[in-house]
Structures are given as structure tokens and as C-alpha cells.
Amino acid sequence: MTQAHLTEERLQGAADGSLDAEQMRAVYGHLSECESCAAEVARLRTVMTRAREANTGAPALDDLWPAIRSRIEESKVVAPKAFAGRASGASARRPWLAIGSTAVAAALLVAAFTQMQRWTPHASEAVLPSQDVAFASAVDSTRIYEDESRRLLNDLEMQKAMMGPSASASLSGDLAIIDRSIAEQKGALARDPHNIALQRLLAAAYREKVDLLRRANNAG
Amino acid sequence: MRVSVQMLALLCACVVGALVPSRAHAQHAGATDPVLRARALRAGSPLKMFIPSGTVRLVGWDRDSLVIRGRVPSSGKLMFGGSDTSGYKLVIEQRDGGELPESHLLIYVPRRSQLSLKTADAIVDATDVSGWFYTVSGRYHIDGAASSLDVEAMSGDIDLEATTPYARAKTGKGHLVVRGTPQDVDASTIGGMLDIAASSIMHGRFTSVTGDIHYASAIAPHALFELSTHSGTIDLLLPRDVSARLELSTVDGEIDNGFTSVRPAAAGVHNLRLSLGAASADITVRTFKGKVLVRSR
């Protein structure tokens, strides 16, 4: 043997075939001369084969993705702050908390249902019952982004003095574009208040405004 | 003879002086002084840089050291920070409120460093680097492999061509391009065009206010996409054998469906639902008054 033994990373790579062609050639060249490394690679391959054969019951990543995807779908819009950040395990450890949470949730559901009763369905875009939660989430998202953009605008007044002329001009132009789009969407929502697609577009426009204002705070 | 020995000694002194930059040179680089700086830096260490203008070539390498070379004009003041291997800071400041100093730098960083680079209008070309990248009106082109990329511009162009599990890119009126092999992408512009040509995306959110969005690539199985604009056109150029469920809606725009051989699951003046192939991916498109184009290739 003319060189040092392979690193752990190279051994693993040789065993699972993840090395690129050039690395593979170099590694195989070494393995043909080094019994110790060749034995280690063989041992790793055996372990990997056994691991593949063993039925661990753990789902493959491809199997997990649809569930992850549906969770993403559910959380496309921001959850209201009051509902965010509650760990599911906590209620299992503290039953009283679970009872309390259930009572609060029930009260909120009743309140939400009462609120929904006041809505007047629109002829063209009537909200289906299954879309109620999504619509309410979109409204909450809009409100949260709107509040945040207002706060950031106040902060920006301090930053503007530090901003260069090109950044300042760019910011003013982009804010005007977003504000025009928000105004148009709000006008359309006033005419069609239960249009969920419109409500989501409005939330997206406010989100864009928040992103822009955050970027602008870095431009000083 | 004595004269030539003195000349030789003087020449040697000049050569040594030029090759070994003094501490003073490194701290205050002049117009003709090259910048050359190298130091040990642990992999994964934070690295903060502010390089307002000029060109920057960033390369991630498999060494635990940082190397900076190039030139900084006399209008710039080069400052370094960080006394050990756990982090580093490089700042180029303009002297006396003059013009932005145009530096030209080649920087090698440990591949797994978490970079934080901010520029005003510099042109940055980066390979195999990860972290946060910001510019006011400069340009970024990032390729290679990255653990995550967060690129923001007020009005500059962004070209992402990297392999990364997570990429976020935002610009105002700049042109934003997403290619390479990213998995989770959040990309948006305000007035700039947004082009996407990456078939590896599993979760993509693409938005623009008035800019057009063009998607031209295959769709990964089980991918989830959301595209929206206020008035920009959304143009989807998909393979003929795409497997996706499309939900298209526009409040005041129009929808042009190129998959005419497939009967829509639902169709109205301003909305259309299509199931193409096995419908494994989900694509939601929304515009306020922008046009929606779905074409096959």
C-alpha cells in the first residue's frame, strides 16, 4: 500500500455508491491495493444490505411527502397568533390543559359559526362550507400582514434618512405599485366580499409589502 | 561594483515589499495596492461581508481557511474583524462620503460557512456558498451546491442556478431566474420578470405584483406549486405528458388553456380546473387581472 487509509466519508461513499466517477476511480484504485479498506467497505455494504432488507416499518420519504404536502396546503396562510405555537404533546401530558383548550376551541367555533351566519352569500362566488376555514384564514392572514406592514412603515421613517437615493426611489416606486394593487383588490372585495381567491390575492399583496419593507430596512 | 550591490539590495527590498503586504496595507488598501488576506476559519463559521460596489467572485472550497485577494481603490477603506477561527468580518467603507469604492475581489470560503454578504450595486458571482445575500441594485448569480440560499434585492437581478434544499429569492423590479435543482423555493418580484426552469422543485411559491411569471419545465411528481400575480401574466409551459391537477383562477383577466384535448373538471369565465395525466402534482394559479396561459410542449 502506497498511501494512507481512506477517510470514513470515502469508505461510506464507496459502499453506497454516492461518489462521483472521478472519486470512485481513485477509491477503487486504493481498494485494489489495501485489504484493510476493502474489508471495511465490504463490511459497510453488508450492513447497508441488511438495513435495506430489514422491515423497520418506517415510511419512505416518498410516502411521507403527501402528508407533508397536505399540511403545507393547510398552512398556506398565516395562522392567527392566538392559535400559533401550541405543541400537541403538551395537552397529552396535562389533561386539564386539554380540557381547557377544548372548551376554548369550542367557544371559538361557536363564535366563528355565529360570525359566518352574518355573511351574505354572493351569487357568483358563494363560499362553500368546506372553504369557510380557508376563507377565515385568508382574512386573518391579510389582517396580520396589514398590521405588520403598518408597523414596518413606522420603523422605516427612521431608516429613510440612512437610505441612498436609488434605494429610496426604488422603494417609493415599488410601494406605489403594491399600494395600487391593494387598492384595486380591496375595491373588488367590496363588490364581492366572499371571493376566496380575491381574499388570498389580497393577503399575498400585503405579504409582498411586508417583504419589501423588511428588505428596505436593510438598505441603509 | 559597489553601486551595483546597492542597486541589487534596493531591488530586493522593493520586491520583498511588494510581495509581503504590511499590516498597514491590509488595513488601508490604496489604489494600486493588491489585497491579499488569508486566515484559518472553521467550517460552518459565520462570515459577514459588506462590499458595496465592483465585482465579487465567491468560491466555496474544501479547506478550513479563508482567502481574499483582489483590489480595492483608494476611495475605499478595507476593514477586517474577528480574532479567532470562529467567525470573520470584512467591510469596505467609502472614505469621506465619496463615491462607492469599486472593489474587485476573489474570495475563497470554507464550503459550509454561513455567509452574510451585503452590497449596494456590486456584481456577485458565487459557487458552492450558502447563506444570506443582499443587494440594493447589484446582481447575483449563484450556482453549485448550497445548504440554503436567501437572496434579496431592492431592484437588482438574481439568477439562482444552485442545488439546494431551500431557496428564497426576492427582488423589486429586477429579473429573477430560478434554475438548477432547488427543492423548496419561495421566489417573488414586484415588477420584475420571474423565470423558472427547474424540474426538481417539490414546493414552490412564485409571486409577482405586476411582473410576468414564466414556468417552463417538467413538474416533479407530488409537487405543490402556488403562482400568483396582480396584473402580470402567468405562463406555464408544461410537458405534454405532465401529471398535475391545475386550478386556475383570475378575477378580471383571461385564461388561455392549451391542453384543449383534456376535458376540464370545472370551467367558468374566470376559473378552470384541469386534471392532466395521473394528476399527482398540485398547481394553483391566481391573478387579479393578469392573463393565465397554460401551454404544452
Share the mean pLDDT of chain B: 88
Minimum-distance CB partner of B155 among A170, A184, A218: A170
Predicted local distance difference test score (pLDDT) of residue B150:
97
- The b-or-e profile of B159-173 (16+ CB within 10 A means b, else e) is bbbbbbebbbbbbbb
Predicted local distance difference test score (pLDDT) of residue B234:
98
Kindly tell me if the per-residue pLDDT of A125 is higher than 50.
no
Q: What is the pLDDT of residues B236-245, one digit of tens each?
A: 999 999 999 9
* Chain A CB contacts of B279 below 8 Å: none
Distance of CA A173 to the CA centre of its chain: 29
Measured CA to CA, the distance from residue B161 to residue B179 in angstroms comes to 5
What mean pLDDT is predicted for residues B37-58? 92
Tell me what percent of the residues of chain B surpass a pLDDT of 70.
Answer: 89
Q: What is the pLDDT of residues A187-212, one digit of tens each?
A: 999 999 988 889 999 999 999 999 99
ipTM, two decimals, is 0.82
Kindly tell me if the per-residue pLDDT of A162 is higher than 60.
yes
* Chain B CB contacts of A174 below 8 Å: 154-155, 172-173, 190-191
Q: What is the pLDDT of residues A103-116, one digit of tens each?
A: 555 555 555 544 44
Higher model confidence: residue A112 or residue A143? A143
Higher model confidence: residue B19 or residue A15? A15
Interface of A with B in 165-194 (CB under 8 A): 166-167, 170-171, 173-174, 177-178, 181, 184-185, 188
Kindly tell me if the per-residue pLDDT of A50 is higher than 70.
no
The verdict on A196 touching B (C-beta cutoff 8 Å) is no
Kindly tell me if the per-residue pLDDT of B31 is higher than 90.
no
Kindly tell me if the per-residue pLDDT of A42 is higher than 90.
no
Shortest CA gap A87–chain B (Å): 25
Predicted local distance difference test score (pLDDT) of residue B54:
95
Minimum-distance CB partner of B230 among A201, A207, A219: A201
Predicted local distance difference test score (pLDDT) of residue A65:
63
Minimum-distance CB partner of B288 among A65, A181, A212: A181
pTM of the model: 0.70
The verdict on A138 touching B (C-beta cutoff 8 Å) is no
What mean pLDDT is predicted for residues A37-64? 65
Closest residue of chain B to A219, computed from CA coordinates? B136
The verdict on A205 touching B (C-beta cutoff 8 Å) is yes
Kindly tell me if the per-residue pLDDT of B229 is higher than 90.
yes
Higher model confidence: residue B211 or residue A13? B211
Predicted local distance difference test score (pLDDT) of residue A109:
53
- A8-11, Cβ contacts within 8 angstroms, sequence gap of 24 or more: A11/A37, A11/A40, A11/A41, A11/A44
What mean pLDDT is predicted for residues A38-61? 65
Residue B269's CB: how many other CB atoms inside 10 A?
Answer: 9
What mean pLDDT is predicted for residues A139-161? 87
What mean pLDDT is predicted for residues A142-161? 87
Helix H, strand E, coil C: the string for chain B is: CHHHHHHHHHHHHHHHHHHCCCHHHHHCCCCCCEEEEEEECCCCCEEEEECCEEEEEEEEECCCEEEEEEECCCCEEEEEECCCCCCEEEEEEEHHHCCCCEEEEEEEEECCCEEEEEECCCEEEEECCEEEEEECCCEEEEEEECCCEEEEECCCEEEEEEEEEEEEEECCCCCEEECCEEEEEEEEECCCCEEECCCCCCEEEEEECCCCEEEECCCCCCCEEEEEECCCCEEEEECCCCCEEEEEEECCCCEEECCCCCCCCEECCCEEEEEECCCCEEEEEEECCCCEEEEEC
Share the mean pLDDT of chain A: 72
